[in-house]
Amino acid sequence: MKVLAQLAQKAREISQVRLYKKNVERVLSALLVSGDFWELVDMSDLPVPAASGIVRVLVEEGLAFIDDEENIRLTQKGLDLVKELGIEPYVDYTCQACEGRGIPFYANIEFYREFLQVTKERPKAIRDYDQGSVTPETTVTRVLFMDSRGDLRNKEIVVLGAEDDLTGLAVALFRKAKRVLILDIDKRLIDFDNAIFKELGIDNAEAIVWDLRKPLDSSMLGKFDVFVSDPPETIPAFRAFIGRGIATLKEDGGVGYFGLTLRDSSVFRWRDFQIALTTEFGVAITDIVQDFNHYITWDYHAETKAAEIAPVKRFPEGIWYRSAWYRIEALPGFKRWNEPISDDVFYLDEEGSTT
Amino acid sequence: MKVLAQLAQKAREISQVRLYKKNVERVLSALLVSGDFWELVDMSDLPVPAASGIVRVLVEEGLAFIDDEENIRLTQKGLDLVKELGIEPYVDYTCQACEGRGIPFYANIEFYREFLQVTKERPKAIRDYDQGSVTPETTVTRVLFMDSRGDLRNKEIVVLGAEDDLTGLAVALFRKAKRVLILDIDKRLIDFDNAIFKELGIDNAEAIVWDLRKPLDSSMLGKFDVFVSDPPETIPAFRAFIGRGIATLKEDGGVGYFGLTLRDSSVFRWRDFQIALTTEFGVAITDIVQDFNHYITWDYHAETKAAEIAPVKRFPEGIWYRSAWYRIEALPGFKRWNEPISDDVFYLDEEGSTT
């Protein structure tokens, strides 16, 4: 297994992302079922720079090559290595009914249909704010998940900086919350939400333009039962979205939901997030559902660092970007973090690439 | 909402378990759909002593009563309170296909059938060792989950003190692991496993009697790619099972799987476990799938502390005890903990009750 360790070491040097042998093994396993780079990233659960670094090293070492159609394929030497190491093809047993979320979006089919109908003319994701919307099935299941945990009916809910997914709109549309406040930097989404609330006579929901780099207004602190967010995966952004989310909670027992991905952040950084949550912020993690959030490939893909550093120019064909769904509960003594944040490395760092 | 806070405070005094308003709210929500105590525990995700304390306080305060068939029912005063607080009935959207696990047990139906066939004569759970087996669907899905994450094929796998679930047997039966070592204190299970391995000619698996209160033998340390366990939820037991599990891992990138429940441990203690994992042991948590493990009610239920402290004598009718499925990855510098453990509070403390 020394070969794998050497490959991992070289990939780490190229990509500047922390990774280990197991990651190389997963890419080789994925290569036995697909040659599409974006599918490899998906199957190997790696930050794009890491997956790209591994593929480049495999090519350099003569273990893989890129064919005319930009498929990444193992060479005979690569196939021999895979056989020698006993690496087998990637397998997927994901539930076809619920897409692996544990709750099927069609558990409330009327709600799903209404969400689709109401959001037909939704604004497109744009690059300015690291946007990338999840599938409507994802958004609808987020709401059902919250409802099944007692985190929706008659609750005061704030959605912070994730309205490209229209989660705040969906929560309001479910018509069971007591109050919904939506904060997002993108005026297009705020206007879209407010227009729908007006049209449908939903008078307990409100969307306002807010830049989460700024501290929240004191009128928002300690006022909510539940927050929902979807932060970029840098440490400063995590603080700005999740730290402030926790700061909005009324009291212990308050709940937070957010997505975190391994496509823009390593498992090393996940541990940093988890340490910050449990020690500094004073919350417990109750759920981490991998691959819960499915993102539609953004129109600005060509402009992303991901596209630039990928070993191939071919664009993603299907869904390749997924994130895990976290649920946390605030325990007594939890911390309300609400400091200003500088612009530096807010969206991007060495592990991130999709903005 | 002051009433809820007072009820929570009283329940905390009676039960000696840390809990908050939200927990009382969840019990009231559950009471709107069931009067069965064990179903309430299940729906409210609470340690048995906490749920029992809450029910007792509701009865004391005239908000609930226990009818002739030992159903817990809200009084008119209770119903008025629920209405006033806007508490709605518990809802459940669990996927019927995969039972909420995200992977359906029938994804490999031949394997499921073989597991059922081979384990027909399995030893019954006994109280001596805090046993309680999960459903065969649970065990089989654990194996598929491991396989889908690249944690099974050609891996060296150790199963520590959880063989009442026959997970080690199932892993070996899947016939894809490189090596399987099963450690359990119960000689009946060890003999059962070894007899099957012999009968089926599975020569890469071995089960040995081991008391996990003792340190592992040096021949077991740093030798495995993956460990699986299912610890009792006390801090000493967590160290003995999970600390030692981590100590068996060869290197960073090593993986651990285990169950943790909220039926025998509060979310407060979950945070303690999570802090120990991420800071002391040096691992990252990649998955927490709630209600993944479904336990068959044990024959010795009547003898448990749970039965004793329950507000009713009626036995559970269906599955009420579930636990979450954790997956962790060891990061560079992870700690191999392997100290001896005293017998004190190994199985039971103020939050536990099912042993």
Residues of A in contact with B88 (CB under 8 A): 153-154, 176
Compute the distance between CA of residue B125 and CA of residue A14 in angstroms, rounded to an integer. 53
Q: Which residues of chain B have pLDDT under 50?
A: none
Question: For residues A240 and A224, is the Cβ–Cβ distance under 8 A?
Answer: no
For residues B292 and B148, membership in a common domain is answered with yes
User: Does any domain span residue A342?
Assistant: no
Supply the pLDDT for residue A125: 73
Which chain B residues have a beta carbon less than 8 Å from that of A23? Answer: 253
**Closest chain A residue to the Cα of B98, Cα to Cα:** A95
- Say which amino acid occupies B263: R
> Of A85, A114, A138, which residue is a domain's last?
A85
- Scanning every residue of chain A, which has its alpha carbon at the shortest distance from the alpha carbon of B154? A86
**A324 residue type, one letter:** A
The first and second tokens of residue A223, run together, are 């006022």
What is the number of other CB atoms lying within 10 angstroms of the CB of residue A345? 14
Q: How many domains does chain B have?
A: 2
Residue B159's DSSP bridge partners are: B182, B228
Residue B183: which CATH number?
3.40.50.150
Do A63 and A194 lie in a common domain?
Answer: no
Question: What is the nearest CA distance from B188 to chain A, expressed in angstroms?
Answer: 33
* Closest chain A residue to B281, measured at CA: A271
B248 and B126 in a common domain: yes
- HSE-CB of A125 using CA atoms within 13 angstroms: 21
Claim to verify: residue A188 and residue A302 sit in the same structural domain: yes
pLDDT in tens, A98-125: 999 999 999 999 999 999 999 998 887 7
CB-CB neighbors (< 8 A) of A98 in chain B: 95, 97-98, 102
DSSP classification of residue B282: -
- β-pairing, B255-260 vs B205-209, is unpaired
Report d(CA A229, CA A281) in Å as an integer. 16
Contacts A108 to B, Cβ<8 Å? 93
Q: What is the ipTM of this complex?
A: 0.96
Contact B132, B296 (CB under 8 A): yes
Nearest residue on chain A to B143, alpha-carbon basis:
A93
Instruction: Name chain A contacts of B91, Cβ cutoff 8 Å.
Output: 147-148
| Helix-then-strand count for chain A, H and E | 13, 9
Q: Is A27 in CB contact (< 8 Å) with chain B? A: no
- Whether residue A70 is found in the same domain as residue A158: no
pLDDT tens digit string along A40-76? Answer: 999 999 999 999 999 999 999 999 999 999 999 999 9
Q: What share of chain B is helix, strand, coil (3-state, %, to 5)?
A: 40, 15, 40
CB contact under 8 A, A285 and B288: yes
d(CA B114, CA B101): 21
In a domain? residue B182: yes
| A274/B285 Cβ within 8 A | yes
Does B354 fall in a domain? no
Interface test with A, best of B98, B260, B277, B327 (most A CBs within 10 A): B98
d(Cα B246, Cα B256) in Å, to the nearest integer? 7
In chain A, which residues have pLDDT < 50? none
- The CB density around residue A166, as the number of other CB atoms within 10 Å, is 27
Q: Would you state the structure tokens that stand for residue B110, as one six-digit string? A: 């031949």
Answer positive or negative: Cα dihedral of B33, A100, A47, A160. Answer: negative
Which of chain B's residues have a Cβ under 8 Å away from the Cβ of A279? 275, 279
Give the domain range for residue A55.
2-85
Mark which of A85, A116, A150 sits at the end of a domain. Answer: A85
Q: Which residue of A has its CA nearest to B8?
A: A253
Do residue B279 and residue A283 have CB atoms under 8 angstroms apart? no
Question: B93 vs A101: CB contact, 8 Å cut-off?
Answer: no
Residues B237 and B184 in one domain: yes
Beta carbons of A286 and B284 less than 8 Å apart: no
- Asked if B147 has any chain A CB less than 8 Å from its own CB, the reply is yes
In sequence order, what are the beta bridge partners of B182? B159, B207
Helix (H) or strand (E) holding A309: helix A305-309
A157 lies in the same domain as A252: yes
Q: What's the full length of chain A, in residues?
A: 355
**Same domain membership, residue A249 and residue A129:** yes
Contact A285 B285 (CB under 8 A): yes
Considering only alpha carbons, which residue of chain B is nearest residue A109?
A: B93
Chain B 67-96, CB below 8 Å of chain A: which residues?
85-88, 90-96
Task: Write down the residue that tokens 């010795």 correspond to.
Answer: B300
The Cα-based distances of B44 to A212, B72, B156, B263, B326 in angstroms read 34, 14, 38, 9, 20
Residues A155 and A206 in one domain: yes
A343 domain-assigned: no
Distance CA A196, CA A177 (A): 16
pLDDT at position A345: 54
User: How confident is the model at residue B348, as a pLDDT?
Assistant: 63
**Do A129 and A81 share a structural domain?**
no
Percent of chain A exceeding pLDDT 70 equals 96
Size of interface A-B (CB pairs under 8 A): 171
A35: domain CATH number is: 1.10.10.10
Distance CA A247, CA A281 (A): 9
CB contact under 8 A, B88 and A25: no
Which 230-259 residues of chain B touch chain A by CB within 8 A? 251-253, 255
* Interface membership of A204 toward B (CB under 8 Å): no
Residues B139 and B260 in one domain: yes
Instruction: Determine the distance from the C-alpha atom of residue B340 to the mean position of all C-alpha atoms in its chain, rounded to a whole number.
Output: 23
Count helices and strands (H / E) in chain B. Answer: 13, 9
- Shortest CA gap A334–chain B (Å): 12
User: DSSP state, A298?
Assistant: P
Query: Which of A102, A108, A154 shows the shortest C-beta gap to B94?
Result: A102
Here the tokens at position B35 are 């009067």
Which residues of chain B lie closer than 8 angstroms to A103, CB-CB?
93-95, 100
What chain B residue is nearest to A23 in terms of C-alpha separation? B253
- Which chain A residues contact residue B288 at CB under 8 A? 285-289
Is the domain of A277 the same as that of A148? yes
Q: Evaluate whether residue B336 is within a structural domain.
A: no
Query: Which residues have CB under 8 Å from B246's CB, separation 6+?
Result: B227, B254, B256, B281, B283, B328, B330, B334, B335, B336, B337
Residue of chain A nearest B44, judged by CA positions: A149
Would you say residue A96 lies in a domain?
A: no
Q: Is A192:A110 a contact under the CB 8 Å cutoff?
A: no
Residue B167 domain flag: yes
CA distance A22 to chain B (A): 6
C-alpha pair distances (Å), A91 with each of A4, A32, A136, B146 = 21, 10, 26, 10
pLDDT at B300: 77
Please report which residue ranges of chain B form alpha helices under DSSP H. 2-15, 21-31, 37-44, 48-60, 76-85, 109-118, 136-148, 167-173, 187-200, 235-238, 244-247, 267-275, 305-309
d(CA A215, CA A338): 5
Check if B34 contacts A (Cβ < 8 Å): no
Query: CA of B11: how far to CAs of A152, A333, B17, B185, in Å?
Result: 24, 20, 8, 36
| CA nearest to B92 within chain A | A148
Strands B179-184 and B205-209: parallel
The reply to whether B201 touches chain A by the CB within 8 Å rule is no
Asked whether residue B230 is domain-assigned, the answer is yes
Phi, psi at B73, each rounded to 5°: -130, 145
Which of B92, B262, B278 is facing A274, going by the closest CB pair? B278
Q: Which residue(s) pair with A260 in the sheet?
A: A324
**Whole-angstrom Cα distance, residue A285 to residue A283?**
7
Measured CA to CA, the distance from residue A129 to residue A184 in angstroms comes to 10
Q: What is the dihedral of CA A347, A352, A353, A355, to 10 degrees?
A: -20
Residues 6+ apart with CB under 8 A from B258: B162, B228, B229, B230, B231, B241, B242, B245, B325, B326
